[in-house]
Amino acid sequence: MIAYKAYDRMRAVEYARRYAFSRNPLFYNFTGVGGDCTNFVSQALLAGSCVMNYTPNFGWYYRTSQDRAPAWTSVEFFWEYMTEAPRFVEAGGNTGPFGREVTRAELQLGDVVQLANDTGDFYHTLLVTGFRGEEPLVAAHSIDALDRPLDDYNYATARYLHVIGVRVAVEVPDCFDALLAGSALPQET
């Protein structure tokens, strides 16, 4: 069974603040080999959710640099995983953080921004760590940044992801035998 829990935005931001200019030794640094931006944002979302999804191909997880889901480090696959949750649930990928596209004005701390170039290719993932007025401040890797104004980036367009919450697997004990025998009611979980 799947239950929902809150995404802890403050933990995600705290993580980004801790590792914006350094690297957590638990994770490979992909700077120079495709970029570390989505890896860094995935780490921050993990800090705010503490749930990975180990579904092959459709999940969102990191074990090693060679054993990770495409959504952990790829800008496009990350977006698909986070926003197309129903498709991933049907494929067995039913746990982990999820979100929806919003406007820039709807962004909150711990949400995600992705930047695109003139041809519409999205190439960079950033985490919202604050606001200056209505302007989002972001943290990123590859070109390390913390509380950098979003408008300081040179990009053609952006998309904005609001993290709604986290799906978690919950095991519910089977009550049938005890109920049928008249010996016990289901235990509270």
Instruction: Give me the mean pLDDT over the 53-67 stretch.
Output: 92
Residue 187 lies in a domain: no
Residue 104 lies in a domain: yes
Residue 162 lies in a domain: yes
Please indicate whether residue 89 or residue 24 has the higher confidence score (pLDDT).
24
What residue has token string 């459709």?
Answer: 58
* H helix and E strand count, the chain: 6, 7
Instruction: Give me the mean pLDDT over the 140-147 stretch.
Output: 97
Q: What are the two backbone dihedrals, phi and then psi, of residue 85, each rounded to the nearest 5 degrees?
A: -50, -45
Could you give the number of structural domains in the chain?
Answer: 1
Where in the sequence is the domain holding 40, given as residue range(s)? 2-181
CA distance 84 to 17: 28
| Residue-level pLDDT at 15 | 97
Residue 188 lies in a domain: no
7-44 pLDDT, tens digit per residue, is 999 999 999 999 999 999 999 999 999 899 999 999 99
Residue 189 lies in a domain: no
Residue 186 lies in a domain: no
Burial of 22 (0-12, 13-18, 19+ CB in 10 A): exposed
